[in-house]
Every structure is written in structure tokens, then in C-alpha cells.
């Protein structure tokens, strides 16, 4: 089984995000960038499937600028067999990303495509579902457990009512949730070994992908600062304070 894993370059989850002074976007210069945490979990699961003898090859893929190669290097150091970089300097929205993945699916013919359920920068939660629709293959989202039995995946997914288990035929698309696993730490010997692993670069424009970027951003605004709390003597005073603020 060949597994294709999507890795997105995002601002590290420990960084306090700042909006540019002109409101044109998020400040990223000098900011730590990392693999999207959900995608890191997806890669860990793919590696565990390979280590269990259920898969033979794990390929990591990213769409982004030259700097995104750093995240592919991390994926290779974690244990992926090889990497594919779809290079572009423009921001890519979910539909364009899904169409780019479809081009790779046609080239690589994977048995499983696995991604994080969403990216922490836009929280779109769309790319995996769009890939499944374009590919016309089954999908299972928000996975918290994956079991492979022959050509069938048994996926436990988190839903509002609790847990739901699906049995889907391969090839398929799976998006993963936080509770699926804990990604491994990268060690120095793994980083050194990763340097010898194959990397392929393809320009996004060379894939002939139809643009799917239909959303435009007018401006970015930081959330308002939290107001200082106030103490009130009793319930009537609380009601009066709320009325004064126009909350009731």
C-alpha cells in the first residue's frame, strides 16, 4: 500500500500571531514555521501503518514556496520515504490544493491519501473532502482510530453524538483528528538520514491545475483586546452594568 500524506507549512502553534500594521495579512517574517499539527498526526499514522506491515511507502507532499521544503525535510526525518514539493509563491485555497493533489494521485496512484482534518491557519476543513469528491473515492473524516484489514479501512471518527465507525474500501481519503496518536520526536541521526532521501519539485503552474481560488480577503484585523473585569456588589448592580453596556 502506498500512502500520500499532505503537509502544510503554517505558523507554529506556540507563536502569538500578529497582524501586519497595514492589515494586509499575518506577519510571518522571522516567525517560526512548522508542519500543521494535524498533518503531523497524519504522517505519524502513515508511518505506523508502514511499520505494522500494512504499507510499503509513505510520500509526503506540500504546496508552497521554496521555504516549505523545511517542512518536507521534517517529514522525511520523521520517516517518510520520499517527498514531493509543489512549488508556488502564492497562497493556495482548498479547491486549488485538492486539484493539485489529484494530479499527483494520477501520477502516483496511491492506495490512501491521509491529511489533517484542517490547517490551523485558515481552519478550512475542506481539502480532504474535495480530494475525495474529485477522485470519486470514499472518505472518512475526523479519524481517531484507523485499522487496515485487507482492502478495507475501519475508521473510528469523532462526531457530535460520540464515536462512529465506518468501513470504507481502498483507495480512500482520510482526515485525522488530534486523538489519533502522538507524533514521534525527530532525532539528529534521522535528520542526517533524511538528507539522502529523494525529493521531487514540480511547479504548480506546470501541473495544469484549474484555479479554484474564489475567495478574496479585504483586510485582516486583530481581535479586540479583552476588557478588564469589574466587581459588582450584588445582582441588581450586575444587571445595571450589563444594561449600561447594552448587553441586555
Q: What is the pLDDT of residue 18?
A: 87
Query: Residue 245 falls within a domain, yes or no?
Result: no
Query: Residue 247 falls within a domain, yes or no?
Result: no
DSSP letters, 89-150, are SS---HHHHHHHHHHHHHHH--SEEEEES--TTT----HHHHHHHHHT--EEEEEEEEEEET
Q: What is the pLDDT of residue 245?
A: 84
Query: Residue 242 falls within a domain, yes or no?
Result: no
What DSSP character marks residue 171? S
Q: What is the pLDDT of residue 130?
A: 96
Q: What is the pLDDT of residue 44?
A: 97
Strands 2-6 and 152-159: unpaired
What domain count does the chain have? 1
Output Rg (C-alpha) for the chain, integer angstroms: 21
What are residue 211's phi and psi, to 5 degrees? -65, 140
Query: Residue 218 falls within a domain, yes or no?
Result: yes
Query: Residue 73 falls within a domain, yes or no?
Result: yes
Residue 15 near residue 155, CB atoms below 8 Å: no
pLDDT digits (tens, 9 = 90+) for 198-237: 999 999 999 988 888 888 888 888 888 887 888 889 999 9
Q: Does residue 171 have a cis bond before it (omega within 30 degrees)?
A: yes
Which residues of the chain register pLDDT less than 50?
Answer: none
Query: Residue 164 falls within a domain, yes or no?
Result: yes
Q: What is the CATH number of the domain that holds 13?
A: 3.40.50.620
Q: What is the pLDDT of residue 217?
A: 82
Query: Residue 161 falls within a domain, yes or no?
Result: yes
Nearest to 3 by CA among 37, 63, 45, 52: 45
- The set of residues, in sequence order, having a beta carbon less than 8 Å from that of 190 and lying 6+ positions away, is 77, 78, 79
Q: What is the pLDDT of residue 210?
A: 86
Query: Residue 246 falls within a domain, yes or no?
Result: no
Full domain range(s) for residue 211: 2-222
Taking the C-alpha atoms of residue 82 and residue 131, their distance in angstroms, rounded to an integer, is: 21
Amino acid at each position: 500500500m502506498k500512502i500520500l500524506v499532505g503537509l502544510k507549512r503554517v505558523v507554529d502553534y506556540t507563536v502569538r500571531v500578529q497582524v501586519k500594521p497595514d492589515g494586509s495579512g499575518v506577519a510571518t517574517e522571522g516567525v517560526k514555521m512548522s508542519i500543521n499539527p494535524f498533518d503531523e498526526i497524519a504522517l505519524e499514522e502513515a508511518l505506523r501503518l508502514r511499520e505494522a506491515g500494512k504499507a510499503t511507502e509513505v510520500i509526503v507532499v506540500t504546496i508552497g514556496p521554496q521555504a516549505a521544503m523545511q517542512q518536507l525535510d521534517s517529514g522525511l526525518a520523521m520517516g517518510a520515504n520520499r517527498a514531493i514539493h509543489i512549488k508556488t509563491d502564492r497562497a493556495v485555497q482548498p479547491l486549488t490544493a485538492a486539484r493539485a493533489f489529484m494530479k499527483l494521485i494520477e501520477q502516483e496512484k496511491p492506495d490512501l491519501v491521509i491529511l489533517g482534518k484542517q490547517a490551523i491557519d485558515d481552519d478550512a476543513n475542506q481539502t480532504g473532502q474535495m480530494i475525495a469528491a474529485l477522485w470519486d473515492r470514499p472518505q472518512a473524516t475526523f479519524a481517531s482510530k484507523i485499522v487496515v484489514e485487507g482492502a478495507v479501512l475501519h475508521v473510528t471518527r469523532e462526531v457530535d453524538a460520540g464515536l462512529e465507525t465506518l468501513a470504507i474500501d481502498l483507495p480512500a481519503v482520510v482526515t485525522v483528528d488530534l486523538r489519533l496518536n502522538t507524533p514521534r520526536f525527530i532525532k539528529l541521526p534521522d535528520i542526517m538520514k533524511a538528507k539522502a532521501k529523494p525529493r521531487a519539485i514540480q511547479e504548480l503552474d506546470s501541473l495544469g491545475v484549474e484555479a479554484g481560488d474564489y475567495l478574496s480577503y479585504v483586510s485582516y484585523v486583530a481581535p479586540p483586546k479583552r476588557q478588564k473585569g469589574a466587581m459588582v456588589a450584588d445582582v441588581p448592580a450586575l444587571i445595571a452594568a450589563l444594561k449600561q453596556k447594552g448587553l441586555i
